[in-house]
Amino acid sequence: MHRVATIAAIVDQHAEDAAFLWLRRRREIDGPVLDETGIGRIDQRLEANLEGLMAAGKTGWEAAQARFADYAEPGELFVLGTLAMRWSDANLVTSAIDAGASLGEAGISSLSAAIARTPRENLRPFVAQWLDTSDARLRCLGLSALWHHRVDPGQRLHDLASHSDASIRRRAIRLAGGLRRRDLLPAVLAGLDGETAKERLAAAFAACLLGEARSAHPVINKIVLEADHAEAAIEIRLLTTPPKAAKAWLQTRLGQPLLRVAATASIGLFGDRSVMPWLIEKMREPELVFAAGLAMRDLFDVDFNDTDLFTIDPADLGKAFESLTDSPLPVADRVAAWWDEGQGGRNHTPFHSMRRLRLDALRAAIATPEAPFADWRRTRKFPAWM
């Protein structure tokens, strides 16, 4: 890394824009709004800013450091980590990892994202060291590298899956599921009794990927009651349950006040459009309008961004909706007219959101436990890694 002639204001702008663009793509990467093209456009801009920082050499690194000093946030840490790892500079990598310590789990997540966007050969000098250290944070980063690049560490994964640290166990168990390591099924099933809901959910997901959904379901049923993980738990439960039984299971959750939002958001997973009149009525309720919109997006391969059926201004829906912060929100009357006119799913270019691609990958993985778990983010024209 060398110091080259640069324009300070432009380099600083690269650092700011890269952090902002990564935060935006993180928000949208598995969501229902953008497809591979939308994510690809973000990736193009993100890569351009990262390349601008790298081309600036030492000045680019100093700009990223200064930005993090002013705003010690996940986006800024992602930029630091990506530059350090792409340069394969041990001192800079250590500096970035140390900088992330103050952010806790969010810091590990940001550095994990940097790892995902770094070529495997640039990471090779570090991953083995991270896995062999006694530092839990570094071991978590090593496991993140294995996950993002789908590398099987062999026998070592046994020790990591039974490690005393819950954050290490959780990532190791997730990797075991993704790699279809049935030899690690005992450790995965043991994780169903893990210390935290996060660990238990990871174990349940891995168990389902290994063909042991029946063992995971009782645990998932309990995790569903925890607000932070309800949506993810419901999704796994529905995808691993025969349709008739899944509908009956979800129906009971729709009647529970604490679960009706998450359950409403998941109802589109069945692909049954006969639920549309019911969803339209839920769009008239402030508590459920956003969830009903999410469910509708799962029912149609339509780019609703090109319609007027959603709004980003809650006030458009009336005074009762003004305090809502989620968006975009479906406009019930417009959706009803669209549905009544028979436009649902007709006369449009098929649109597959990133959420749809993720769900399709999960369905395929659950249906064929012996097949590799596809990384749907790697199949995009522009790498769509988190």
| pLDDT score at 380 | 62
Q: What is the rounded CA–CA span in Å between residue 49 and residue 42?
A: 11
The values of phi and psi at residue 373, to 5°, are: -80, 110
CA angle 67, 72, 78 (to 5 degrees): 75
Confidence grade of residue 381 (pLDDT, cut at 50, 70, 90): low
For tokens 């080259």, the residue is: 4
Residue 333: helix, strand or coil by DSSP? helix
Contacts of residue 135, defined as CB under 8 A and 6 or more positions apart, other chains included, come to none
For the stretch 61-116, pLDDT in tens is 999 999 999 999 999 999 999 999 999 999 999 999 999 999 999 999 999 999 99
* Assigned token pair, 204: 């349940």
pLDDT tens digits, 347-376: 678 899 999 999 999 999 998 888 878 888
Judged by DSSP in three states, 194 sits in coil
Question: Which residue in this structure is represented by tokens 């050499």?
Answer: 57
Contact residues for 380 (Cβ-Cβ < 8 A; gap 6+): 36, 39, 40, 43
DSSP 162: T
The residue count of the chain comes to: 386
329 phi and psi angles, rounded to 5 deg: -115, 140
Tens digits of per-residue pLDDT, 112-170? 999 999 999 999 999 999 999 999 999 999 999 999 999 999 999 999 999 999 999 99
Structure confidence by residue, pLDDT tens digits, 57-69: 999 999 999 999 9
Q: Is the N-terminal amide bond of 372 cis, ω within 30° of 0?
A: no
Helices assigned H by DSSP within 192-242 = 197-209, 213-223, 230-239
Question: Token match 């351009």: residue?
Answer: 48
* DSSP state at residue 312: S
> How many CA within 13 A on the CB side of residue 24?
16
More confident residue, 315 or 227: 315
Inter-helix orientation angle 120-132/90-100, to 10°: 60
Closest CA to 236 of 226, 245, 224, 228: 224
Q: Mind listing the pLDDT tens digit for each residue in 255-310?
A: 999 999 999 999 999 999 999 999 999 999 999 999 999 999 999 999 999 999 99
385 DSSP 8-state letter: -
What share of the chain in percent tops pLDDT 70?
95
Asked if 354 contacts 31 with a C-beta cutoff of 8 angstroms, the reply is yes
Look at residues 119, 146, 98, 107 and name the one whose alpha carbon lies nearest to residue 50. Answer: 119
Provide the pLDDT for residue 384.
Answer: 47
Pairing of strands 329-330, 310-311: antiparallel
Domain boundaries of the chain, sorted by first residue: 1-153, 258-366
